[in-house]
Chain A
Amino acid sequence: MQDLNPVYFVLGSPLLAAAVLALIPGRWQIQASRLNALAALATLGAGCSLFAIRPRPTNFIFIDDFNIYLVVLTAFVGFTTSVFSASYIRHELETGRLDGAKLRFYHAMYQAFLFTMLLALVANNLGVMWVAVEGATLTTALMISLYRTREAIEAAWKYFILCGVGIALALFGTILMYLAAQPVMGSGLEAMAWASIIGHVGAFDPAILNLAFVFLLVGYGTKVGLAPLHAWLPDAHAEGPTPISAVLSGLLLNVALYAVLRFKMLLAGNSGALAPGPLMITMGLSSLLLASFMLYRRRDIKRLFAYSSIEHMGIITFAFGLGGPLANFAGLLHMTMHSLAKSGIFFAVGHIAQVKDTQKIADIRGLTTGHPALGWGFLIAVVAIAGLPPFGIFMSEFLVATSTIAHQPWLALPLVIGLLVSFGALILRLQGMAFGAPSPQPHKPVSASLVPLWAHLSLVLLAGLHLPAALVQWFQSVARILG
């Protein structure tokens, strides 16, 4: 059965699609956008087949309960975003903001980006994981600069430099990890394979592990957008094409956090090593507080939700830093819910920016009267991300807060302040945008496909009303692995 390893399909489908899409000439880009969605659907299918056939780990690739869930989530959001992207792209072509040549590049890069993220998730070898995250940085930086405006190029440059340094520090951490493994496990690929390392990590020199983890946390933490390393994130979200903002927030941040968690698990296996929890709690809380206060002064709609992503990644990092079955469960749930809700919001925001022809919050008014379907969809999505019941995010935030009160009551205070402050900011901004008299711009017809948005919202709602028992069990088993 070794030759039928479904992981190869998961990785092969986007890679092949990237190659094919790179060959499609510029005038057929509408068709190319459909092919893009089809390829993403094939990847999703291959991802789901991992549930049926669990491949045996090799030195390069392995699948366990933790990453299979992220692979499927990534493939799903990758697919819905490609559907959204198809309708977004059509509008950009019509208005002439993008041309065929740029779109050809964009579509190929989109699939290449999916490939690198999936590779980072299934990688067993820590070096391969690093190369994949680096590749994801490269592909997204190229897509952020797609519009070639002054702001877009500045955003891409900032992203390149900051994430480049982050990636470099993560590599140093990876080298240190191998240095710790090598005396115990000998030279060779074994000593870089996560699944083998975890069995021997107890015998590693804890001092080297500590140093390695600090570098890895700072390095990959830059990509998670944790304060104070978040400076690239709002620019990158605001200036690139909106589908890219959706996958950046919904997927790439998760993948980077996944890398941090893998190393956290390694540290937990060594009794002499430092506890990674307090470091992650500090970074998570500071991201949450910083972002929640920054939300008030945003004037750009995409920047607003970029800061909201920093806030939510802060909450998730905080939850995993807290540890224990309940907090880990809440973190996993929040990771999923945030991915779905935030990419859904960017789907709506993309179309809003297109119909209103602006990203300025002040110029967007009366969405619910001007564009009822889009406006109400956006309203519901923002209510969901702000953490109101009955949506899934309310549930996960509630779980984070209760487990904080149970374990570290004092930490609940900054957590709840952060949650409330950001809630207030989002609702304040939402009111202006959703209600009132519509702003006087010429109303362009939207050819928007709202299916991806509704699909995401209904999943978030469903999770808030009733989590299926199978999913609960699944999350519980992953939360146990996370320790």
Chain B
Amino acid sequence: MGNLPYDVAHLLGTSVLVLSFGLLFQRRILGVLNIFGVQAGFLAAAAAWQAHIQHAPHLYITAAIALVFKAIVIPLALRRIVFRLRIHRTVETVLGVGPTMIAGVGLVGLSVILVLPLTHQSVALTRDDLALALSIVLLGLLMMITRRNAVTQVVGFMSLENGLILAAVGVAGMPLVVEMSVAFSVMVAFIIFGIFFFHIRDRFDTLDLQSLESFRGERS
């Protein structure tokens, strides 16, 4: 194909995907936060690039939200929470890196198999973007499943959301992308606010969700 818009969009989308693997690989909480910030930065670049090639100025707003809110504010806020709760040295071992990576590669393969044959009518750019986005969504889910800590679960949720935004900006002329990304950001903000203020710290001493689940289901 060899045209610039396609190549750059592809490069940026793939970078977001690679960083999703980075999130799965990283086991130190601060490392996870750093990688997430970089991922959000690449997402912002991808959104801005789409705004440029689609001549859709409103996508610049999405890019700005991703850059300011997700790449800077949220990682900093989470970093503060992590230090405040003294879990910055925590190393999570839920599932080994090897099995997680294999599962991740399997999920990417699955989404490529699922999406590519479907969208033969659409332009190549949309198609590849969609496959990448679905991979990122599935990897985000995998991260949420394999992590026990509340902070890393939230990061998994946000990386899942990064995949959704990538899909939304990749589809030509989709209306309301900005509104949706704002709605999502509000939700994420409340979740983080919840960790910080809704006594999860006070009540549980630790953010390890295993201690949260002691109660699960029934009161005896």
Q: Do A and B interact with each other, yes or no?
A: yes
Binding site for B on A (CB under 8 A): 125, 127-128, 130-131, 134-135, 137-138, 141-142, 145, 148, 150-151, 153-154, 156-157, 160-161, 164-165, 167-169, 171-172, 175-176, 178-179, 182-183, 186-189, 191-192, 205, 207-208, 211, 234, 297-300, 303, 359-360
Q: Which of B141, B180, B203 contacts A130 (CB 8 A)?
A: B180
B174 touches A145 (CB 8 A): no
Cβ-defined partner of B171 (8 Å) among A131, A137, A141, A175: A175
Asked whether A205 lies within 8 Å of B180 as measured between CB atoms, the reply is no
CB distance from A172 to the nearest CB of B (A): 6
Nearest chain A residue, comparing its CB with the CB of B220:
A299
Q: Assess whether B157 is in contact with A164, with CB atoms less than 8 Å apart.
A: yes
Q: Confirm or deny: B160 has a beta carbon within 8 angstroms of a beta carbon on chain A.
A: yes
Q: Which residue of B lies closest to A164 (CB)?
A: B157
Give B135-153 as 1s and 0s: 1 = Cβ < 8 Å from A's Cβ atoms.
0010001001000001001
A145-B198, A175-B168 known; A135 vs B183 contact (CB < 8 Å):
yes
On whether the beta carbons of B168 and A188 are closer than 8 Å, the reply is no
B187 adjacent to chain A (CB < 8 Å): yes
In the bound complex, do residue A134 and residue B171 qualify as a contact, i.e. CB atoms below 8 Å apart?
no
B65 lies within 8 A of chain A by Cβ: no
**Chain A residues with Cβ under 8 A from B183's Cβ?**
131, 134-135
Which of B144, B172, B174, B219 is close to A360, meaning CB atoms less than 8 Å apart? B219
B200 at interface, CB cutoff 8 A? yes
In the bound complex, what is the Cα–Cα distance between A186 and B134 (angstroms)?
A: 23
**Which A residues touch B217, using CB under 8 A?**
234
> Contacts A142-B190, A157-B212, A171-B164 given: A188-B173 contact, CB under 8 Å?
yes
Please name the residue on chain B nearest to A238 by beta carbon.
B219
| Contact in complex: A178, B215 (CB < 8 Å) | no
Q: Check B144–A161 contact: CB distance below 8 A.
A: yes
- B164 near A187 (CB under 8 angstroms)? no
Let me know if B175 and A192 touch, CB within 8 A: yes
Cβ < 8 Å to A, chain B residues 160-176: 160-161, 164, 167-168, 171-176
* Distance in angstroms between the alpha carbons of A178 and B175 in the assembled complex: 9
Q: Which 3 A-B pairs have the closest CB atoms?
A: A187-B173, A127-B176, A207-B118
Q: Decide: A182 and B172 in contact? CB cutoff 8 A.
A: yes
How far is it, in angstroms, between the C-alpha of A176 and the C-alpha of B130 when the chains are bound?
A: 9
Contact between B175 and A138, CB atoms less than 8 A apart: no
**Cα distance A179–B119 when bound, in Å?**
9
Check if B160 sits within 8 Å of A165, measured CB to CB: yes
B184 interface hit (Cβ, 8 Å): yes
21 pairs of residues in contact across A and B, judged by CB atoms under 8 Å: A127-B176, A135-B183, A138-B187, A150-B203, A150-B215, A153-B199, A154-B213, A154-B215, A154-B216, A161-B153, A164-B187, A165-B141, A165-B144, A169-B137, A172-B134, A175-B164, A182-B174, A187-B173, A208-B119, A234-B217, A360-B219
- How many Å from the CB of A140 to the closest CB on chain B? 12
> Which residues of B, 62-113, contact A by the 8 Å Cβ criterion?
none
Q: Contact partner of B114 among A134, A183, A191, A211, CB < 8 A?
A: A211
Residues of B within 8 Å of A151, CB to CB, are 215, 219
A298 touches B137 (CB 8 A): no
Q: What DSSP secondary structure best describes chain B's contact surface?
A: helix
Q: How far is the CA of A192 from the CA of B174 in the complex (A)?
A: 8
The answer to whether B218 touches A125, judged by C-beta atoms less than 8 angstroms apart, is: no
B53 contacts the other chain (CB 8 A): no
- Which of B157, B160, B183, B199 has the largest count of A CB atoms less than 10 A from its CB? B183
Known: A153-B200, A171-B180, A207-B118. A138 touches B126 (CB 8 A): no
Least CB distance, B199 to chain A, in whole angstroms: 6
- Given the complex of chains A and B, what is the CA–CA distance between A137 and B175 in angstroms? 22
A145 touches B194 (CB 8 A): yes
Query: Complex Cα distance A370/B133, Å?
Result: 60
B130 touches A179 (CB 8 A): yes
In the complex the two chains form, what is the Cα distance from A98 to B122 in whole Å? Answer: 55
- Interface residue? B2 (CB, 8 A): no
Please determine whether A148 and B121 come into contact, CB atoms closer than 8 angstroms.
no
What residue in chain B is nearest A160 (Cβ atoms)?
B191
Q: Check if A168 sits within 8 Å of B190, measured CB to CB.
A: no
B114 to chain A: closest residue by CB: A211
Complex contact A157–B187 (CB within 8 A):
no
Chain B residues within 8 Å of A135, by CB: 183
Known A150-B203, A178-B174; contact A137-B187, beta-carbon cutoff 8 A: yes
Query: Which residues from A are CB-within-8-Å of B204?
Result: 150
Contacts of A298 in B (CB 8 A): 218
Looking at the assembled complex, report how far the CB atom of A227 sits from the nearest CB atom of chain B, in whole angstroms.
15
Alpha-carbon distance between A28 and B215 when the two chains are bound, in angstroms:
36
Q: Which residues of B sit under 8 angstroms from A137, Cβ to Cβ?
A: 187
Q: B7 near A: Cβ within 8 Å? A: no
C-alpha spacing A303/B121, complex, angstroms: 49
Complex Cα distance, B172 from A153, in Å, reads 41
- Is the beta-carbon distance between B212 and A154 smaller than 8 angstroms? yes
Q: Contacts of B141 on A, CB cut-off 8 Å?
A: 165
Given contact pairs A134-B187, A300-B218, enumerate 4 new A-B contacts (beta carbons under 8 Å).
Answer: A156-B198, A189-B175, A297-B218, A299-B219
Q: Could you tell me if A168 and B121 are in contact, using CB atoms closer than 8 angstroms?
A: no
Interface residues in B185-213 (C-beta closer than 8 Å to A) = 186-187, 190-191, 194, 198-200, 203-204, 212-213
CB-defined contacts of A130 to chain B, threshold 8 Å: 180
Those of B11-65 within 8 Å (CB) of chain A: none
Is the CB–CB distance between B194 and A172 below 8 Å? no
